[in-house]
Structure 1
Amino acid sequence: MSALEIETSSEAKERPAASRTPRGLGIAGLLLPIALAALWEFLVGAGLANGRLMPPPSVVGKTLWRLAVSGDLLTHATATLWRVAAGFGLGAAVGTVLGALTGALPVARGLLDPTLQALRSIPSIAWVPLFILWFGIFEASKVALIAVGVFFPVYLGVAAAILSIDRKIIEVGRVFRLSRFAMVRRVLLPAILPAWIVALRSGLGLGFMFVVAAEIMGASEGLGYLLVDGQQLGRPDTIIAAIIAFAVLGKLADGLLIAITRPFLAWQDLGRDKL
């Protein structure tokens, strides 16, 4: 057997193990929260810890089940997801366009970037009274606040990705006499696409953070409203149930975004599975 055949057969044997590693790690990642929940359940059940302010998982599970059976959980989760989706779409679109402009055009960068960097330092809660005056207390103000949270990481990610494109890559495109459109499609877009997708994921995460502040602005439904309702009624089990719902929805939304964007990164030849 030649050296090439030996190397090929060894790579074939290693490939299944590498492909199984992420799935095994994903399952192992569930062990830590399950172990912590079981430990807290034991401590409260044995009387070694007070479960009044931090209810055990059994109490939180009953609250989640009650909310699910009554339909309240679906109502609140649907309202929150709609607001996040609308704010994410608006903020990501505007952030991508302005990020591309400031990254590609020095004039736009000089005019827009200082103002946007100053606005980025404003706390999210500071926008609440202004958006209420502008858009009222209904959905428009909530979507606008979420869009602001999504906008800045997407804007920064796109602008930084364009500014960090290796000059040698552009020179290679010029050597092959690519047209401007071909240069953008075959060189510039693949170069910034990974950073843009990471920026979208960061923006989506901030969208779920900003929706809490948005739903405090007089909302009558949503997981943020459920948080406030639990706090006003002194129900820590309701608060933790809402937090768990936020975590699950955020993880599912991030997984959906990864699944949608994965085909656009199929050209990458990464070495993470060989580390």
Structure 2
Amino acid sequence: MPDTAARAAAPPSPAGADGAARPPEDALAGLVDATALHAPRRSRVPLPRPVRRLAGPLLMVVVWQALGTFGIVGERVLATPGSVLSAGWELTRTGELADHLLASLARVASGLALGVTAGLVIALTAGLFRLGDELLDSTMQVLRALPVLGLLPLVIIWFGVGEAPKVALVAFGTAFPVYVNTYAAIRGVDNRLVESGRTVGLGRLGLVRHVILPGAVPGFLVGLRFALTGAWLIMIVAEQLNATNGIGYLMNQAQSWYRTDIIVLGLLIYGVLGLAADGFVRLLERRLLGWRRGFEGGA
């Protein structure tokens, strides 16, 4: 009769008003915790991600418009969003904005093509070869410390006052972010992966192709993101000196007439172009790094 004695010694289960047995409170707590752990987590804001990303800029525009509408900030100091849109529409209607924008895009594209290519080639040479590291890395670190815009007078002496100095400045300023991040990514590849590749029979070219270069892609994309942003920062200054077109030139001309609406328009164009460039890099990351899943943030 041991089962009967055990049942008699066990504490009675709590009962409700209807006399039905209730599970112990600890069991209920454990059941709730287990349910919460396995239940799918939902976003607190039931909106698409692009809409949530635009919420911050839209709020800034609303505050900006309110400051101008209520006279807290004068039109001479900072034009309102409505004035900026009006100026943008007028320049678009006359075709002037498109001409300046295309000129800036051509300069940035040429400078980026040269700078990114140079930075990538030097990073591969220094990262993959010991002799290249000894000869190139220290030189690149010295050049990286030079102020890009401080080279403008020297570049003008070298290349004149045409398109060449502007493209050269962009190329010089964008090569270093690509070099530094790509070189660090190559040297940061886990040596255990290299040893594993050797174990399965990969030679030097096979290791570079299947282990080192894939491991360096994230670093290269980080450098490319900095390079795209830096290109527009350099161009906005370069186009204000010895230029006859471009967004920077347009802003410089507007300064003479105290047209803050055109100046702010130019700044917004640079910001939108920077956002588009960042979106392009994000697209590359999804294409090239689909095998790698990283932390995407909590709900």
- TM bucket, shorter chain: 0.7 to 0.9
Aligned to 1:214: 238
1:52-201 to structure 2, matched below 5 A, reads 52-201=76-225
Structure 1: stretches of 5+ with no match in the other structure: 1-6
AA matched with 1:175: T
AA matched with 2:280: L
Aligned to 2:10: none
| Greater shift in the superposed pair: 65-74 or 212-221 | 212-221
Distance 1:203 1:27 in 2: 27
Alpha-carbon shift at residue 63 of structure 1 (Å): 0.8
Contact 1:128 1:217 (C-alpha < 8 Å) held by counterparts:
no
Root-mean-square deviation (CA), in Å?
A: 2.4
AA matched with 1:144: A
Highest CA radius of gyration, 1 or 2?
2
Alpha-carbon shift at residue 36 of structure 1 (Å): 2.7
Distance 1:203 1:190 in 2: 20
Aligned length: 264
Distance 1:181 1:116 in 2: 26
Contact 1:150 1:204 (C-alpha < 8 Å) held by counterparts:
yes
Alpha-carbon shift at residue 267 of structure 1 (Å): 1.5
AA matched with 1:110: E
Contact 2:118 2:175 (C-alpha < 8 Å) held by counterparts:
yes
Distance 1:139 1:110 in 2: 35
Structure 2: stretches of 5+ with no match in the other structure: 1-34
Q: Secondary structure at the match of 2:48?
A: helix
More helix by share: 1
Aligned to 1:252: 276
**TM-score, normalising length: structure 2:** 0.81
Q: Does 1:227 align with 2:251?
A: yes
**1:101-148 Cα distance to aligned partner (Å, 9 max, x none):** 112222222222222211111112221111111111111111111001
**TM-score, normalising length: structure 1:** 0.87
Alpha-carbon shift at residue 255 of structure 1 (Å): 1.7
Identity of aligned residues (%): 35
Alpha-carbon shift at residue 271 of structure 1 (Å): 3.8
Cα separation, partners in 2 of 1:260 and 1:270, compared to 1, 3 Å: closer
**1:217-262 Cα distance to aligned partner (Å, 9 max, x none):** 3111111111211112221111100000111122112322332453
Cα separation, partners in 2 of 1:262 and 1:40, compared to 1, 3 Å: closer
Cα separation, partners in 2 of 1:205 and 1:49, compared to 1, 3 Å: closer
Equivalent in 28, 47, 50 of residue 26 of structure 1: 50
Cα separation, partners in 2 of 1:270 and 1:125, compared to 1, 3 Å: closer
Contact 1:44 1:56 (C-alpha < 8 Å) held by counterparts:
yes
